[in-house]
């Protein structure tokens, strides 16, 4: 008799299974309920099909819908395959390429047959119905291994030129996996997959849009149609997601920014923001807030050049890792004959800074530093430029010119944990002032990196220890470690904010870096009289001001708290007889430091109320003849059902309280 394999389960129990057994067999042995609920399995941590045979003793965890992360990835992967199958069934001659799962759904790149136009939005309802038919058919999803040559021949014979090209580019002799959907359709795929299409909920997906895409992402290649969908485990999840999308559309910072006259973007400075007076009020309020925060935490503010010699970026390592995202120019001189601008023969290349850190090292290196001078905390509202791809730009969330609330802490090794812990407390206070909850993550070393493993060990442990000591390494704060997601020079802590409609934004960060001080030869004199390398902590809380303002616009849906609102109050008259009193009220508000405007137009008060409500003005102070006689104002607060009549002095005191930034209250 063959030796049995010992299969260990998460509850600590074991099952003895015969060679050739699969996770599906274990699920069936445990009970019919689990056999029905199982979607896939993890064997020794690797996600696999339920039909994957055990190769020996193993740890097994069966994946069900309760394991939401794995279940969603599987479902979205399968929705993509069902989409491709449906398109080819409806439109014979369609070529398919590839389609992965995404953060909230899936897509598939296809090429329509030559006999018709590329797929458009009008095709989506028909494709959805065909997908539902495939799901309801409960077609088994079965894995097979084919030779590379067999796949090339199949794809070539069926006119699938993209698939054939892909297979031909794989190593000689490699065996490739394909998945059958029933007995009549297959696709090349690593897997894993659900046991059958019927494990998908036919009411839990929706095709959202189409877009152009290029084969292998190269604009010199054939243009394809990318069909996007969103996919979930059940209809309730789908409905909740669609509701979030509707709410997000209402909160879109680009739409609100235009309606509220905060900023604009245009082709003449593509990827840079034109701040209007009202938008710049918000910007300056955030700058003032952050300056108070960092000065209270022992930082010194500096200002560094926008442009530096490329050789500096080569020495720091950024030129080798980041040159394609940098703007660089050589010395330009007039041509002797034509006078036209030309590159000098001995041109010195200069680069506009994409980040502030090398410049801060140069400031640190001015003069001899002692161990007694550390920690040194240097802060800059540093303007940076990055040559982001045109398609990656998104309103003011992703731009080419931005300003960071950037700081670098130069410290001794024995100070790192304490400094990171202090930063955690500072970030916590800032985010809570804006009403955000957050999760904190530790991004660990990537495969391609600078520095020794010993230095990475130290840096990762320092960040981890600081979070533990700060009491943040808990489920409440979403603590998690992210393998491979650190920067090329340092691990980092990341702060992920959750907004009013449940979206997350990665904003703040602190990185523990021993690489840049070494590459740029930064040092201090230790207590022993010898030169030592400082540890350099890169840190930001807002990240980019532009992006943080975009997040705030969407978080508040344009209804800024009074201290941030560009216009904090409008004085509106009911009758022209109150114009003189309205001007007195305005003068009193301005004297009290309130950002106020007046509306003396000959319009009905209901019209004025509606207009200023749409403009998201926090308080409307309505005055008529009675208010003028009594020295009062009728205060209409945005979102409140009723107005409140109060003496002018009381209204001003209320507004002053709300207009005071939270850190000064």
| In the block, residue with structure tokens 């995404």 | 102
Cis peptide leading into residue 192 (ω within 30°): yes
Residues 6+ apart with CB under 8 A from 77: 100, 101, 106, 193
Is 408 noted as a catalytic residue in this protein?
Answer: yes
Label residue 522 left, alpha or beta by phi (over 0 means left) and psi (-120 to 50 means alpha).
beta
Dist CA 476 CA 457 (whole Å) = 26
Tokens of 136: 């309801």
Question: Active site residue: 52, 312, 404, 421, which one?
Answer: 404
Neighbours of 551 (CB within 10 A): 23
Question: Active site residue: 405, 406, 513, 599, which one?
Answer: 406
Dist CA 52 CA 60 (whole Å) = 12
Question: Active site residue: 193, 251, 538, 636, which one?
Answer: 538
Is 206 noted as a catalytic residue in this protein?
Answer: no
Is 406 noted as a catalytic residue in this protein?
Answer: yes
Label residue 180 left, alpha or beta by phi (over 0 means left) and psi (-120 to 50 means alpha).
beta
Question: Active site residue: 139, 206, 408, 547, which one?
Answer: 408
Tokens of 194: 């659900």
User: What is the DSSP code string of 149-161?
Assistant: HHHHHHHHHTT-H
Question: Active site residue: 492, 532, 547, 595, which one?
Answer: 492
Is 411 noted as a catalytic residue in this protein?
Answer: no
Is 492 noted as a catalytic residue in this protein?
Answer: yes
Q: What is the DSSP letter of 636?
A: E
Task: Give Cα separations from 273 to 276, 279, 289, 380 (angstroms).
Answer: 9, 10, 21, 20
Is 612 noted as a catalytic residue in this protein?
Answer: no
Task: Give Cα separations from 9 to 33, 41, 353 (angstroms).
Answer: 17, 11, 53
Question: Active site residue: 189, 357, 411, 424, which one?
Answer: 357
Q: What is the DSSP letter of 199?
A: G
Dist CA 511 CA 514 (whole Å) = 10
Is 357 noted as a catalytic residue in this protein?
Answer: yes
- In 46-171, which residue ranges form alpha helices assigned H by DSSP? 68-90, 124-136, 148-157, 161-168
| In the block, residue with structure tokens 């070393």 | 445
Q: Which residues pair with 530 in a beta bridge?
A: none
Question: Active site residue: 139, 386, 458, 514, which one?
Answer: 386
Please answer whether residues 11 and 40 qualify as being in contact, where contact means their C-beta atoms are separated by less than 8 angstroms.
no
Task: Give Cα separations from 12 to 61, 65, 268 (angstroms).
Answer: 11, 21, 64
Residues tagged active-site: 357, 386, 404, 406, 408, 492, 538
């Amino acid at each position: 008799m063959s030796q049995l394999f010992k299969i260990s389960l998460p509850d600590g129990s074991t099952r003895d299974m015969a060679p050739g057994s699969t996770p599906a067999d274990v699920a069936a042995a445990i009970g019919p309920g689990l056999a029905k609920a199982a979607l896939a399995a993890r064997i020794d941590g690797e996600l696999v099909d339920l039909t994957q045979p055990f190769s020996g003793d193993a740890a097994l965890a069966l994946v069900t819908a309760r394991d939401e992360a794995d279940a969603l990835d599987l479902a979205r992967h399968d929705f993509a395959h069902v989409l491709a199958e449906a398109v080819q069934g409806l439109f014979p001659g369609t070529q398919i390429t590839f389609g992965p799962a995404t953060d909230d759904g899936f897509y598939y790149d296809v090429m329509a047959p030559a006999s018709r136009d590329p797929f458009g939005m009008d095709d989506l309802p028909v494709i959805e119905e065909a997908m539902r038919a495939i799901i309801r058919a409960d077609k088994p999803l079965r894995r097979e291994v084919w030779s590379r040559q067999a796949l090339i021949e199949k794809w070539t014979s069926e006119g699938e030129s993209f698939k054939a090209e892909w297979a031909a580019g794989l190593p000689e002799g490699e065996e490739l996996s394909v998945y059958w959907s029933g007995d009549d359709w297959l696709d090349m795929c690593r897997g894993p997959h659900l046991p059958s299409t019927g494990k998908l909920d036919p009411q839990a997906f929706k095709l959202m849009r189409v877009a152009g895409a290029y084969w292998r992402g190269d604009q010199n290649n054939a243009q394809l149609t990318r069909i996007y969908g969103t996919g979930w485990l059940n209809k309730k999840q789908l409905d909740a997601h669609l509701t979030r999308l509707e709410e997000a559309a209402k909160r879109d910072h680009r739409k609100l920014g235009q309606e509220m006259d905060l900023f604009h973007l245009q082709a003449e400075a593509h990827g840079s923001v034109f701040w209007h007076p009202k938008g710049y009020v918000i910007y300056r309020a955030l700058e003032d807030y952050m300056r108070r925060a960092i000065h209270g935490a022992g930082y010194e503010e500096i200002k560094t050049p926008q442009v530096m010699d490329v050789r500096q970026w080569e020495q720091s390592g950024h030129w080798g890792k980041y040159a394609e995202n940098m703007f660089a120019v050589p010395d330009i001189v007039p041509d002797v004959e034509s006078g036209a601008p030309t590159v000098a023969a001995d041109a010195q290349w200069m680069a506009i800074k994409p980040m502030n850190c090398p410049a801060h090292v140069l400031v640190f290196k001015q003069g001899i530093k002692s161990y007694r001078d550390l920690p040194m905390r240097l802060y800059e509202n540093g303007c940076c430029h990055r040559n982001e791809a045109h398609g990656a730009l998104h309103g003011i969330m992703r731009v080419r010119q931005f300003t960071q609330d950037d700081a670098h802490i130069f410290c001794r090794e024995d100070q790192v944990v304490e400094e990171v812990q202090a930063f955690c407390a500072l970030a916590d206070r800032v985010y809570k002032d804006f009403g955000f909850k957050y999760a904190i993550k530790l991004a660990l070393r990537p495969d391609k990196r600078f520095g020794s493993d010993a230095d990475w060990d130290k840096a990762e442990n320092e960040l981890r220890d600081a979070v533990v000591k700060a009491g943040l390494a808990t489920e409440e704060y979403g603590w998690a470690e992210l393998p491979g997601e650190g920067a090329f020079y340092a691990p980092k802590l990341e702060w992920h904010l959750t907004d009013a409609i449940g979206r997350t934004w990665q904003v703040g960060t602190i990185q523990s870096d021993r690489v840049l001080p070494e590459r740029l030869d930064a040092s201090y004199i230790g207590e022993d009289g010898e030169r030592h390398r400082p540890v350099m902590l890169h840190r930001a809380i807002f990240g980019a001001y532009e992006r943080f303002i975009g997040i705030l616009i969407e978080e508040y849906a344009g209804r800024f708290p009074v201290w941030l609102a560009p216009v904090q109050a409008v004085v509106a008259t009911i009758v022209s007889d109150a114009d003189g009193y309205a001007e007195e009220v305005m003068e009193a508000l301005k004297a009290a430091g309130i950002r106020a405007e007046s509306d003396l137009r000959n319009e009905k008060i209901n019209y004025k109320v509606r207009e200023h409500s749409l403009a998201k003005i926090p308080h409307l102070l309505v005055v008529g003849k009675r208010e003028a006689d009594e020295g009062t104002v009728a205060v209409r607060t945005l979102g409140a059902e009723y107005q409140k009549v109060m003496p002018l002095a009381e209204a001003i005191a209320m507004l002053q309280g709300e207009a005071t930034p939270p850190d000064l209250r």
